[in-house]
Amino acid sequence: MTKRMIIVLVACVLVFGAVFGGKLFMTKMMNQYVDSMPVPAATVSAGAVQAMTWDNKLEAIGTLVPVNGADVTAEVGGIVTQVLFESGRQVAKGARLLTLDSASELGELNRLKANAELSELNRVRREKLFKLEAIAKSDYDAAVSEANAAKAAVQSQTALLAKKDIRAPFAGQLGIRRVTVGEYLQPGTAIVTLQSVDPIEFDFDLPEQYVGVVQPGFKVAVTVDSYPGNAFDGAVLAIEPRVDVATRNFKLRARMPNPDRKLTPGQFGRVKLALPGERNLLVVPRTAISYSSYGTAVFVVQKKPAATPGSDAAEPAKKAAAGPASPPAADLIVIQRFVKLGEVRGDFVAVIDGLKPGEQVATSGLLKLRNEQPVIINNSIQPELQLNPKPAES
């Protein structure tokens, strides 16, 4: 029995070993066959790395702000008795805009004036008596103090009364009226907005690398969406003397004339800042850039390295040639290369580091590419690239 069981066990081991061995052999051969199959070539368009000379300018976004701008408010409360302006009008500095009821304040002013006159008469009498040595110096000093206090009270009441007559603090354009006659105004209530828009200013930010490069007086051109195709020229007025630690940018303010009042405070705008000189740059089409969480990269088109007979690279080619449906081989491949980008203009982007003049990069079909992917170049439908593209007119 023992001998028979041993024979059965040995036979089972041989049978199962042959089955599993055959399966492993088939899997290995299948993997080798798949690995030896050539990667199909992808059809892409390509463009050369070009050397260009760009005028030295910077582009940024910002906001239009008034030279002077404020909401005109009431410093004291009261009932509106007169509204002396129309919405949207131009006004001069000091123009009367609104008056509040001031009857009680005017009555109090008259009382204080009368009291001041009496105090002054009393001071004059005390002065004469003091010169005659009929009263003490302290009595005369008290009369002088009373007269001065009465005059100060008149000045204070006069200033309070003047606050009932609200005037434009500077010349500019009024907004929409927010009050009506008969309305009671609380102190601090906004009456109308007043904006000085000619000239007008533009605030924008630049990266800290341009600190010391930009100077007051440099020319700027501002564009806004409400007037496409129009540029408003001006110059840098002031530069913030510190860099924001949160954004690593610094602020600039430009000023430009606005005689037609086309520009309005609060508008979003784009600015082009002209710097002296020109820049020589390497540029590629914008469509050649591949963006990922690892950085920005391009696929550089290169000649496929020649495989020597007997090498590992030549062996899969032989096996592939023996296959029943081998695709045609391509003599070009793409190599993924990370680059550092600079300014973008039109259909081009400047490359600061990572490429050399004359190299070719893939400009379409990037999603289907991987490192060392064979490619076939087809530039028959490649669009014309422009440095300053303009939308086509319908």
pLDDT at 320 (0 to 100)? 42
Q: Are 301 and 362 in contact (CB under 8 A)?
A: yes
- Give the pLDDT band of residue 307 (cuts 50, 70, 90): low
Higher pLDDT residue, 390 or 249?
249
The arithmetic mean of pLDDT across residues 79-105, rounded, is 90
pLDDT digits 0-9 by tens, 155-195: 998 988 888 889 999 999 999 999 999 989 899 889 999 99
Model pTM score: 0.61
Percent of the chain with pLDDT over 90: 37
pLDDT-derived band at 318 (thresholds 50, 70, 90) equals very low
Residue type present at position 66: P
Nearest to 49 by CA among 289, 277, 305: 289
Distance between CA atoms of residues 370 and 72, nearest Å: 64
CATH class entry, domain 37-54+282-377: mainly beta
pLDDT in the model for residue 321: 41
Beta bridge partners of 200: 66, 256
- Taking the C-alpha atoms of residue 88 and residue 177, their distance in angstroms, rounded to an integer, is 9
> For residues 176 and 87, is the Cβ–Cβ distance under 8 A?
yes
Q: Please tell me the class of the 57-66+197-278 domain.
A: mainly beta
pLDDT at 317 over 50: no
Q: What's the rounded mean pLDDT across residues 276-305?
A: 88
Closest CA to 387 of 348, 330, 356: 348
User: Measuring CA to CA, how many Å separate 35 from each of 30, 186, 317, 368?
Assistant: 9, 84, 11, 19
Q: What is the pLDDT of residue 148?
A: 93
- So what's the pLDDT on residue 139? 87
Per-residue pLDDT, averaged over 197-206, amounts to 93
Annotation: CATH topology of 102-163: Helix Hairpins (1.10.287)
Is 40:172 a contact under the CB 8 Å cutoff?
A: no
Is residue 305 over pLDDT 60?
yes
pLDDT in tens, 24-58: 888 877 777 656 656 678 888 898 999 988 888 88
3-state secondary structure of 114: helix
Task: Enumerate the domain spans of the chain.
Answer: 37-54+282-377, 57-66+197-278, 75-99+167-188, 102-163
Q: Is 191:177 a contact under the CB 8 Å cutoff?
A: yes
By C-alpha distance, which of 208, 176, 151 is closest to 87? Answer: 176
pLDDT over 60 (residue 341): yes
